[in-house]
Chains A and B, each alone.
Chain A
Amino acid sequence: MAKDLVTPPPTAQRPSAGGPAPGRRQPGVGIGAKAVGILNGGFLLLWGLITTLPLLWAIISSFKTNGEFRTDPMGFPSGLEWDNFARAWSAANIGQYFLNSVIVVSMSLTMTMLFGAMGAYVLARYDFPGNRIIYFGFVGGLVLPVFLALVPMFFIVRNLGDLPFVGQFLGLNSYFSLALVYTAFSMPFTVFFLTAFFRTLPTAVAEAGIVDGCSHFSLFFRVMLPMAKPGLISLALFNFLGHWNQYVLPLVIMQDSDKRVLAQGLGVLAAQTGFRADWTALFAGLVIALLPVLIVYILFQKRIQAGLTAGVLK
């Protein structure tokens, strides 16, 4: 994707005038560093091509007619075939799936950020017995593979539907259930990352808030949360990408055909068209699904990078 098109690293520095005598170079600088630089640049360029070319191919293919695609899969289209998008949107139901995705992700993202921030804040700033245990409980969730949890999760979600009163909003094939599951799975990283972030915020500002008369709640919502905005934005973007691209979890929970989310819908579309071969509509659907992600990536590239690396380093 776009972020992989990294500029090659700067070329190695020449030895300065006052350096060692000509003909004798020190190890690690000069030609050696230059070679590493070229190798790095070359590797990144290759990797960039590997990731971008299929993407470009899909986008270009989404504008071809099926005939063009079959005769010359690698060529350019003679005109822009917008009908592919119309077919994908309405006939293949991508429009409905898109809407489902938007509903689920907007719920799950709100919940993840709100509860993640609240949990992380308390873990980072309040000392109470069991604090570490809860924290490591969350962090431990990071090592749990999704597939291991799939079966128990399915039964839990199905049983949620049997609860009195709230059961009608839960259970399988419910937007809210899926959003809850997304939230649960993003909690470990969100709490892990935001705890580290809240720890870096200056204690003095919190104390100033307390002296100014804040309660615990107003201190959190009026002082600490706005101060954590950079971290929250990075993480919200990261979580958005994760939730939007989710495939396995909705596959288990959303079994009604009109409740499918986008990634599922594309899978279905691919399977259905596999032999009837409406390839270009499939590519058009793919582009529709990709567009929000791509836009988010392009707009917030720096933030995502900062968020990811901050999470890794801390």
Chain B
Amino acid sequence: MATVTYDKATRVYPGQDTPAVDSLDLAIEDGEFLVLVGPSGCGKSTSLRMLAGLEEVDAGSIRIGERDVTHMPPKDRDIAMVFQNYALYPHMTVAANMGFALKISGTPKAEIQRRVLEAAKLLDLVEYLDRKPKALSGGQRQRVAMGRAIVREPQVFLMDEPLSNLDAKLRVSTRTQIASLQRRLGITTVYVTHDQIEAMTMGDRVCVLKDGLLQQVDTPLNLYDTPANVFVAGFIGSPAMNIATFDIIEGGRAKLGEADVSVPRSVLTKVSDEGSDLVTIGFRPESLVPVSSEDVGGIPVTVDVVEELGSDAFVYGHPAGPKAAEQTDRMRSDTVIARVEPRMAPAKGEKIVLKVREGESHFFSVKTGERIPQ
């Protein structure tokens, strides 16, 4: 067990100008489950592979515990990795796959057998120990890959999108299995995914990356409640946050076409300090409530689609009113999404007015994209 520290770690692929991972600073606690998340090409896998030793570190350093592993070969780092497509050895049985690393390191046979059996029991694989990987289902292969990592009892687990090859249902159940297994074993884990739901549900902390740059590291709820910038706000949460750029008008309000939202005084001062009269405002679908159109302010919306999930209902609409075209230009996506009471959802084509609950708006600087605290 150990901490993991990225200290300004940078990776530039040969022949490219921009770094794939740009001076990443990240401290992972002992026994923590940290999730690296971001869109494809954001550098999350590269970061993980740098820690594994499969990718060179061009600048900065990486430490596991107190050891500087920056230029150490993978086998000396005391890590185990689970690959996206499992990377099982096709010519070995499940037992041999799981025990391979121990065999290479010269562990006595009896000890290997004991540890493989122990891991197999933990993962429900005992009856498959003599099979070859090709005779296993996707879920079983995934568990063998996990087992191969567990058997080594490493200081750090590295997981590179280990669930992306499973079907949706299996993914959900395996997700909770991995999370609970990690808590039981208490081994520091770095987990890469592009799926923000996986990130939110599994991680003690989540690290959001974009274009090789660290955007924010925090607990899932803090990421959700106080995203540090527009990118994190739009990336975390499903359905996504509604984000648009509003004009600030007299009387502490911001307006975009017909939409009209109140802005707290503290935000107004910061925006005017910046010398701008625009502000980016985001609000989660569940922060929107339908109101009667006579109220002051609100966002008029024409309903396009209603998704009824039983427990929830989501309204997808586009801004209504004469200036709607101007509005869509300044919105992050074409649609406005709102969560409504499932049994009282509006009909398709209906025009409704939505209002943001007091204090649930997120404000971001138009210039830097950073969050403006209220």
Contacts and interface: CB of A to CB of B under 8 A. Distances in A.
A205 interface: yes
Contacts of B73: 210
A218 B75 contact: no
B87 A207 contact: yes
B13 interface: no
Contacts of B101: 211-213
User: Which DSSP category, helix, strand, loop or mixed, fits chain B's interface?
Assistant: loop
User: Which DSSP category, helix, strand, loop or mixed, fits chain A's interface?
Assistant: helix
B150 interface: no
B299 interface: no
B91 A226 contact: yes
B74 interface: yes
Given A212-B100, A213-B105, A218-B104, A207 B83 contact: yes
B79 interface: yes
A276 interface: no
B74 A210 contact: yes
A208 interface: yes
Contacts of B83: 204, 207-208
B81 A208 contact: yes
A229 interface: yes
A205 B84 CA distance: 11
B77 to A, nearest CB: 9
Contacts of A204: 83-85, 87
A202 interface: yes
Given A213-B105, A214-B104, A218-B104, A208 B75 contact: no
A181 interface: no
A45 interface: no
Contacts of B85: 202, 204
Interface residues of B, number: 23
B52 interface: yes
A223 B91 CA distance: 8
A227 interface: yes
Interface string A59-95: 0000000000000000000000000000000000000
B104 A210 contact: no
Given A211-B75, A211-B79, A214-B75, A223 B104 contact: no
B89 A205 contact: yes
B80 interface: yes
Given A204-B85, A212-B101, A213-B75, A227 B80 contact: no
Interface string A186-215: 000000000000000010110111111110
B122 interface: no
A231 to B, nearest CB: 13
B91 A211 contact: no
A290 B334 CA distance: 76
Contact of B80 (A205, A209, A211, A223): A211
Q: Could you say which of A204, A212, A222 has the most chain B C-beta atoms within 10 Å of its C-beta?
A: A212
B54 interface: yes
A202 B73 CA distance: 21
A210 B91 contact: no
B54 A207 contact: yes
Nearest to A213: B75
Given A204-B83, A207-B54, A207-B83, A212 B91 contact: no
A211 B100 CA distance: 11
Interface in B104-142: 104-105
10 closest cross-chain pairs (CB), A and B:
A213-B75, A204-B87, A212-B101, A208-B87, A226-B91, A213-B104, A205-B87, A211-B81, A204-B83, A211-B74
Interface of A: 202, 204-205, 207-214, 218, 222-223, 226-227, 229
15 contacts: A202-B85, A204-B83, A207-B54, A207-B83, A208-B81, A208-B89, A209-B89, A210-B53, A210-B73, A210-B74, A212-B148, A214-B104, A222-B100, A223-B89, A227-B90
Given A205-B87, A210-B53, 14 more contacts: A202-B85, A202-B87, A204-B83, A204-B85, A207-B81, A208-B87, A208-B88, A208-B148, A210-B73, A212-B148, A222-B104, A223-B89, A227-B90, A229-B91
